Amino acid sequence: MPLGEHLRELRKRLMLACAGILVGAIGGWFLYDPVFQLLQLPVSDLRERGVDATLNFSNVAASFDIKLRVAAFLGFLASSPWWIYQVWAFLAPGLRSKERRWALMVIGAGVPLFAGGIFMAWTALPNTFLLLTQFVPDGETSSALIDVTTYLKFVMQFLLIFGVAFVLPLILVLLNFLGVAKGMTWLKGWRWAVIIIFVLAALATPTADAVTFVLMALPIIGLYFAAVGICLLNDRRVAKKALAAGVGSDVDTDVSS
């Protein structure tokens, strides 16, 4: 395909992806009130501890800005199958039929994994928030005025980072199924993989506390070893197939001679 057609196709897919996110954001605009109530649950838990915690809208346009952010965030999440498909549709013409099949399987598995990462992050969010604010003194003289923009940025980064991190082990499986790397290669490097996962988790988390990045790293390590197991099983399947093909060719040679 000529470069001009590639660029036109890229523009088309980007426009379709953005249109899907926009439609999702419009729906998110109308769901803002119940979603914002959910996002405030960690702050409500802090108030139940006796701390006067309040989300603070620090400027005139803050409420409108927050509604836009939440709507865009919801649109991005809700339309993820659509814009992931647009990425697939752009890449598919350049792939062979076998590569196309594996890529489609990876995309199909990536959506639930992304959702699972976000769900786990949402489950861990209240405890993480309480841990980070546990040093606010209890009592009537203490109050925590939390900037709402900073708070929502923290929450959205926390959810998205977990979602993306849960998808990363799929890349190992895809590379193995495409014949780029063996499962034993991933297994031999497990020590480096664990170190790299912990380092990246520490760099990626929006806070500096150790508990948050450990909570992120442990599930990813589990997914890493699950991906390695799938790769090893695939390598065994490929080896058996190659052996059977070799035995069949030897028999044909003997018969012909």
**DSSP notation for 55-106:** EE--STTHHHHHHHHHHHHHHHHHTHHHHHHHHHHHHGGGS-HHHHHHHHHH
Element (H, E) at 146: strand 143-147
Could you tell me how far CA 10 lies from the centroid of its own chain? 23
Task: Please report the pLDDT score of residue 218 as a whole number.
Answer: 84
Residue the block writes with tokens 């992806």: 17
Residue 56, beta-bridge partner list: 147
Which three-class secondary structure state does DSSP give residue 165? helix
Please, what is the Cα angle at 78 between 161 and 28, to 5 degrees? 105
Q: Does the structure show a pLDDT above 60 at 257?
A: no
Of 7-16, 119-128, 149-158, the range with the lowest mean pLDDT is 119-128
Give the start-to-end residue ranges of the domains of the chain.
Answer: 1-95+121-138
Total count of residues recorded for the chain: 257
- Report the share of the chain in percent with pLDDT over 90: 6
Which three-class secondary structure state does DSSP give residue 171? helix
Backbone φ and ψ for 145, nearest 5 degrees, come out as -95, 105
Contacts with 156 (C-beta within 8 Å, 6 or more apart), sequence order: 69, 73
CB 219 within 8 A of CB 124: no
Return d(Cα 228, Cα 255) in angstroms, integer: 41
Which three-class secondary structure state does DSSP give residue 179? coil
Residue the block writes with tokens 């150790």: 210
Most confidently modeled of 19-33, 132-146, 156-170, 198-212? Answer: 19-33
Q: Does the structure show a pLDDT above 70 at 233?
A: yes
127-184, pLDDT tens digit by residue? Answer: 777 766 666 665 555 566 778 888 888 888 888 887 877 887 887 887 777 777 888 8
Q: What is the largest CA-CA distance in the chain?
A: 97
Strands 143-147 and 52-56: parallel
Backbone φ and ψ for 59, nearest 5 degrees, come out as -145, 175
pLDDT band at 81; cut points 50, 70, 90: confident
